[in-house]
Structure 1
Amino acid sequence: MANRPLSGVRVLDMSTILAAPLASSLLGEFGAEVIKIEHPVMGDPARHYPPLEDGESAAWAMLGRGKRSVTIDLHHDEAAELVGRLVAAVDIVVTNFRPATLRRFRVDFDDLRAYRPDLVMVQVSAFGRTGPYADRPGFARVAEAFAGLTYRTGVPEWPPVFAGYPVADGVTGIYAAFAAMLALRQRDLTGQAQLADIPLYEPLLRMMEDFIVEYGATGENRERQGNQNPHISPNDLYRTRDGRWLALPASTEQMWRRLVKVMDAADLAVHDSMTARLEHRDEIEARVAAFVAAHDLEPLMSLLADAGVAAGPVNSAADICADPHVRARGSVVEVRDDRTGRTRLMQAPAGRFSGFDATIGHAAPALGADTADVLRDLAGLAEPEIHDLRHRGVV
């Protein structure tokens, strides 16, 4: 679709696993052509994450969709020049190698600018390119712990716990895609190459807006509070009569007044400020819990929705796939892989836009499926040269 906002933008995805590949996937969903470099033998490690079907990860259908796969062994002496020839034909390089690794492979920012003087490069790494930890390895869980998210996740009586999904990968992937757009805009305004240095931990730290300012104001660390919110009450997960769970955060005065009315609990209206409700949190949370426990989930959801109270069920994957709203919006879609004949459920691109559509594109490619075409069309190699590189294990 030529009218998508990133049509004509070409991205070289020189990354593995989750955060940086998510960034390139997001760019691809809105029109960019994404070329993924993978190791000729193993490919992206995410190809091998269980559950496996016919030796390939089911999750790879989501992680690799819409991309072209080119195999290059970056450890090989000839790889840097080969990457450079591809860089000359792209707008953005996305990578998540550590700074020292990029230098060792001779594919760092300064190396690649020799091939594309106005290159945009987005580098995701655990701790960024600067500072004493720049070359430390790290994954999402390391970043979550370092940024303080893990410290405040869990209940007070127990050790800290991870969130149910590696949040740092998702948040940083989205932030890296945003950074790519900023850098591309700046490149187009100035004509100069742009480097976006995005550590895994910094977007998380930025996201927790109350964390540092509260410490600065009080000198105290915010400790674990389970499902409770330090600034809002009522705010918890409450169990319904039929054994489901409901998220119910009364985050504003208006929402609190609506909840009091639907609960028929006029005596609670005396707690007419958030400060007052926090002071009487135990009483309020117990009353809300008893109210929710007296209802089955679906009738209660209808009651709350009619009253204008924000609330929602705690959904499993099965719940999400069966939900009529999810189905109506197309938030989950079926994608057919012509290569395997298999149809998979997966998340659709997020958001709907008035002037353009996002698209998933083609199914996830087989390892190296596009190597010959890309090296011929973008790097200018002839078939005998590509055959020779394959024979010597470079691609």
Structure 2
Amino acid sequence: MKSEDRLPLEGIRVLELGTLLAGPFTGRLLGDFGAEVVKIEAPDKEDPMRIWGKQKDGHGLWWPIQSRNKKSITLNLRVEEGQEIFKELVEKSDIIIENFRPGTMERWNLSYEVLSEINPGIIMARTSGFGQTGPYKGRAGFGSVGEAMGGLRYVTGFPDRPPTRVGISIGDTLAALYATIGSLIALQERQRSGKGQVVDTALYEAVFSVMESVIPDYLLAGHVRERTGNILPGIAPSNIYATKDGTYIVMGANADGVFRRLAEAMGTPELAADSKFATHAARGQNMKELDFRIEQWTKTMSASEALEILAEKGVPSGLIYSAKDIVQDPQYKAREMIIDVDHPVLGKFPMPGIVPKLGRTPGKVKHPGSEVRGKHNQEIYKGLLDYSEEKLHELMKKTII
């Protein structure tokens, strides 16, 4: 096999513990690029993600995406025999992903200190609401709480209404991205030292880290950033604008050169020389009047007509896409951002493509998440740990696997 045919993370084995979003999404990202991700589920309890969200014919439509490329085994980590088996798996693995409340792994005698004695190179990616240290470490923390305490929800929405949420579980997703980055950094460092380490990701910190300059805004300038709806104070034009066919387009033309092109697109090039709009500061001060003028123009045509004119003039703009718009868009198709994966029950299953795009060794979706808990028990326990058939039957009788 040529090196270009191998996925970048082939040869890396990941043990994925935990449920729902942040931990499993980390496993999905690593699996997309070739890591062997072994998802461990309890033998007596189904992962709630299997039926989370919308369903078709009794099958959850999120599970095949979140669990793609993963192998599924069952193991009871709450009992000593299951914990000892897990330690055998750790000896042959590179990364552990877990998103339990801090202290859970320690109660199971599976702390990093214990596991690193077995495998000094093991990396433990730990995602929790508030991290492994600090006065809040023992608190339960979901993504929604991380979004709130990380500062995101305070600035999301309109000023005359209560804070709102982003339409997806962005706190969990951000935490998963940081856990993935941290795992890859730890793998790189391990090449130098030969040692693993803990990657400690807190949901609220993952959100807080993308909150731009809100802290110096407050501490150095005395300004608390508030909810501003679809605008950014002092940045204009940067808003959504209604069109003749009853939809909205989003547009950003606040740079001087781009605004000149927008004025030309509108058939009013003189706007770019008007003292009320000629500079960045002036446009910010006269935002309401400028947005009104732009929307009076966009309302004279359909969204597609307006976007065509704006594209020709080089003005950043776009339709606010629904799922229907996404699946019809040629850019998504050209970039293979919606891929069909063979599902054993549902047939061709559409799911998001792989991000980022690597030029020489791109990632790959080999299969959707396993519909059967423990589907790979034989492969992992017999093939990797060399267990006999008799031992497997005994473990099943005792509900260890």
Shorter-chain-normalised TM-score: which range?
over 0.9
The partner residue of 1:253 within 244, 253, 256 is 256
Distance 2:246 2:266 in 1: 20
Q: Judge conservation of contact 2:147–2:207 (CA < 8 Å) in 1.
A: yes
Distance 2:107 2:240 in 1: 49
Match of 1:89 in 2: 92
Tell me the CA shift for residue 359 of structure 1: 0.4
Q: Deviations over 1:157-184 (max 9, x none)?
A: 1100011111111222112111111011
Task: Normalising by structure 2, report the TM-score.
Answer: 0.95
The partner residue of 2:365 within 360, 363, 371 is 360
Matches within 5 A, 1:208-219: 208-219=211-222
Secondary structure at the counterpart of residue 363 of structure 1: coil
Q: Judge conservation of contact 1:237–1:247 (CA < 8 Å) in 2.
A: yes
Distance 1:374 1:243 in 2: 56
Match of 2:350 in 1: 345
Match of 1:379 in 2: 385
Secondary structure at the counterpart of residue 38 of structure 2: strand
Matches within 5 A, 1:1-395: 2-269=5-272, 270=275, 271-337=277-343, 339-340=344-345, 342-365=347-370, 366-395=372-401
Q: Deviations over 1:196-244 (max 9, x none)?
A: 1000111211112122121122222111001111352111111211112
Q: Deviations over 1:309-367 (max 9, x none)?
A: 10111111111011111112211011111x32522111111232221121011121121
Q: Judge conservation of contact 1:85–1:378 (CA < 8 Å) in 2.
A: no
Tell me the CA shift for residue 52 of structure 1: 2.5
Distance 2:111 2:5 in 1: 32
Distance 1:287 1:317 in 2: 30
Q: Judge conservation of contact 1:98–1:137 (CA < 8 Å) in 2.
A: yes
Distance 1:272 1:129 in 2: 52
Distance 1:70 1:108 in 2: 21
Tell me the CA shift for residue 377 of structure 1: 2.2
Q: Judge conservation of contact 1:99–1:108 (CA < 8 Å) in 2.
A: no
Distance 1:68 1:147 in 2: 34
What's the RMSD between the two structures over aligned residues?
A: 1.5
Secondary structure at the counterpart of residue 159 of structure 2: coil
Bigger shift: residues 39-48 or 196-205: 39-48
Tell me the CA shift for residue 5 of structure 1: 1.4
Distance 1:259 1:171 in 2: 34
Identity %: 33
Q: Deviations over 1:8-63 (max 9, x none)?
A: 11111112111121111111111111100111233321112132234331111111
Secondary structure at the counterpart of residue 209 of structure 2: helix
Distance 2:119 2:270 in 1: 69
Q: Judge conservation of contact 1:19–1:173 (CA < 8 Å) in 2.
A: yes
Instruction: In structure 2, give the amino acid aligned to 1:87.
Output: V
